[in-house]
Structure 1
Amino acid sequence: MTVTKKSKKSLSDFQQLLQEVQRCALCQQHLPFTANPVISVGQTAKIIIIGQAPGIKAHQTSTPWNDASGHRLREWLGIGNEIFYNPDLVALMPMGFCFPGYIKGADAPPRRECAPQWHSKLLAHLSPELTLLIGRYAQNYYLPQYNNLTDAVRHQGEEFIGPFVLPHPSGRNNRWLKINPWFEEAILPGIRKKLQASLKNQDTF
């Protein structure tokens, strides 16, 4: 495939933007550790997963979703590490790029500075076919018209085109999953189907 000067410039701009993101220390004064933005984004990705914020394991390894929540998310989506962690296939972008620390024994909410500063700039370089919003922080930011995350998840039917909303796969949401079995029974199969269709469009299978 011939790469035009325009596409070369676009790729160069994207790489420069990623370097800027990786150097970001916008909210350093509020963080428990040195700023370490944890994202995995490739310009050709047709699937984008917008999560919450990296946990302590993701911070320590600089690998997004590198914990039990990530394992459950990959099971939900029916994909393995080789696809999930290929940035040219799946873009992983949290609402807050750095580990925010703890509040009362749980992960603190994602810092509010990241999304307004970086999301639109990164998304301007992407053309995703499928967008997944994981958890209420992503849902509140991108789909504020819903009263709560449950309403946003329930709204997704057979003809829904997205962005799709999933509860956070943390074990803290086990009670939600238990009282809302329709999510895994009726919603997840449709999301898996659309995800696999997007991957096939990239000649993954």
Structure 2
Amino acid sequence: MKQLLQEIKNCKICKDFIAPRPVVEASVDSKIIIIGQAPGTRVHATGIPWNDPSGKQLRKWLNVTDEQFYNTSLFGIVPMGFCYPGKGKSGDLPPRKECAPEWHQRLWDKMPNVELVLLIGMYAQNYYLKDKAKRTLTETVNNYEEYLPDYFVLPHPSPRNRFWLSKNPWFEKFVVPELRNKVSQILI
């Protein structure tokens, strides 16, 4: 696993399009895998995954401490795109499409203890759920139980999603408690 992680951290597959600085954390013992979009500017600068307001919100949803979250025996952090994709008109660009096909399966092959995969946002959900994903992220998340026990689908915890959260109060009322329950059962 160490060799594979080093290969990923040295990856330059996108060097013609972005400034590569792959961010990934995992171990052979990882029990829960977090698949988000791609690192943002702060994560790109620090190299620490989810080291931003989105990460703070995600840890709140999971009801875990920073120490638990960054313990690779508990959590593996494997984004769809390992590097910051750059700025777009209304936020960051989508994750680069090369990363997941190049690296994800190789990582899964080294992580035999995974009990749950969190698919955060539409990029991860569409990639892993394929035709089982619903028409919209809201529909997919509202039907999260269909994807259990393998996947738990979530919206992105970005502060930019405040509008979505206020428009969909059922998420924090019903889905987050179920998420916390699943996570706590695995981490016991």
TM-score calculated relative to the size of structure 1: 0.87
Among 140, 148, 161, the residue aligned to 2:126: 140
1:37 to 16, 22, 40: 22
For 1:59-88, what per-residue CA distance to the aligned partner results, in whole angstroms no more than 9, with x for missing partners?
111000110000011011101110001111
Match of 1:24 in 2: 11
Runs (5+) with no aligned partner, structure 2: none
Corresponding residue for residue 11 of structure 1: none
Do residues 164 (structure 1) and 149 (structure 2) align? no
The Cα of 1:159 is off from its aligned counterpart by 9.5
Q: Percent identity?
A: 50
**SS state of the match for residue 174, structure 1?**
helix
- Ranges of 4+ aligned residues in structure 1 off by more than 6 Å: none
**Aligned length, in residue pairs:** 185
Amino acid at match of 1:36: R
- 2:42/2:51 contact within 8 Å kept: yes
Deviation sequence 1:2-46 (CA, Å, 0-9, x none): xxxxxxxxxxxx221111111101011110x3x110011111011
Alignment of 1:1-205 (within 5 A): 14-31=1-18, 33=19, 35-126=20-111, 127-144=113-130, 145-146=132-133, 147-157=135-145, 160-200=148-188
Gaps of at least 5 residues in structure 1 are: 1-13, 201-205
Distance in 2, Cα, partners of 1:100 & 1:168:
16
Give me the whole-angstrom Cα distance separating, in 2, the residues matched to 1:111 and 1:95: 8
Please identify the structure whose Cα radius of gyration is greater: 1
Distance in 2 between residues matched to 1:42 and 1:180, nearest whole Å = 35
Distance 1:158 1:151, change over 3 A: closer
- Does the CA contact (< 8 Å) of 2:147 and 2:153 recur in 1? no
